[in-house]
A = this chain, B = another copy of it.
Amino acid sequence: MRFEPVAPVRAYERVVEQIEEAVFSGRLKPGERLPSERELMTQFGVGRSTVREALRVLQAAEMIRSRPGDPRGPEVLAASPAALQRSMQRLARAEHLGLAELLQFRMTLDGSAHLLAAQLRTEDDLAELDTALTAMRTGAEAGFPEFSRADVAFHEIIARASGNPLLVISSEVVRGVVLELIEDKLAHARNRTSLMRSWLTHHADVLEAIRDADGGLAAQLVKHALYDNYAEYVPTEDHRLLTPLLD
């Protein structure tokens, strides 16, 4: 017979639990409001500092948002990958994750997303991808930020067509972390224009493959595209991490 170590339960933790439970169970829907801190403090029977620490934790988890002066109280937020993204960013910084690892991971995720998307895509998805591609073409002339937005949209449609929200979120998260790592290198206009041109042709090919329901090809294309466009920023000794994914 073995015993478990006991950990004292803090008051603010129990407050967090109750509010969390209310949100997860659906009793509190996004957009609805929590009672004010002073009201919560009487309902929970704790001091205001305890309530506030609980709200801070929930706010760090991106579950609520409070604004001073708003008489309606703290707002319950819709679930978002923002907290996940922050956790991953912190981990990437703390573990000193290199571009190679991130790129490897993104090639994996995007490859699978494309594979699945090619086999599960509907006609609506194809139409959306068409409009996203033309948006990229016009965006390329308007400037890098516009192009980038259209590019993100294209990727997101594919990830969504894969039927897996986790793929959508993870690619988005990793994409953000990667861009944060190399954004200074992308600052030069020369790199940008060649990058945009390259991505445009690649995306057209990918769309073709997805239309043909050729998942293997689509996955190949996107992995090669990522490699071709970003490998130059990866230390040469790390290339061996990437190449196995290309066959």
- Interface residue ranges of A79-114 to B (CB < 8 Å): 79, 81, 83-84, 86-88, 90-91, 93-95, 97, 101-102, 104-105, 108-109, 111-112
Contacting residue for A112 out of B112, B116, B163, B167, CB 8 A:
B112
- The minimal Cβ–Cβ distance linking A218 to chain B, given in whole angstroms, is 12
With the chains together, A27 CA to B93 CA distance in Å? 14
B105 touches A164 (CB 8 A): yes
Copies in the complex: 2
Interface-side segment among A51-59, A192-200, A225-233: A51-59
Residues of A within 8 A of B (CB-CB), count: 50
When distances are taken between beta carbons in the complex, the residues of chain B under 8 Å from A3 are: none
With the chains together, A169 CA to B101 CA distance in Å? 12
Q: Mark A14-40, 1 if CB is under 8 A from B, else 0.
A: 000000100110000000000000000
Q: Which residues of A contact B (CB under 8 A)?
A: 12, 20, 23-24, 49, 52-53, 56-57, 60-61, 63, 79, 81, 83-84, 86-88, 90-91, 93-95, 97, 101-102, 104-105, 108-109, 111-112, 115-116, 119-120, 163-167, 169-170, 174, 215, 240-241, 244-245
- Given A79-B95, A105-B167, 19 extra CB contacts under 8 A: A52-B53, A56-B57, A60-B60, A61-B87, A79-B90, A83-B87, A83-B91, A84-B87, A84-B91, A87-B87, A101-B164, A104-B164, A104-B166, A108-B109, A108-B167, A111-B112, A116-B241, A120-B241, A163-B241
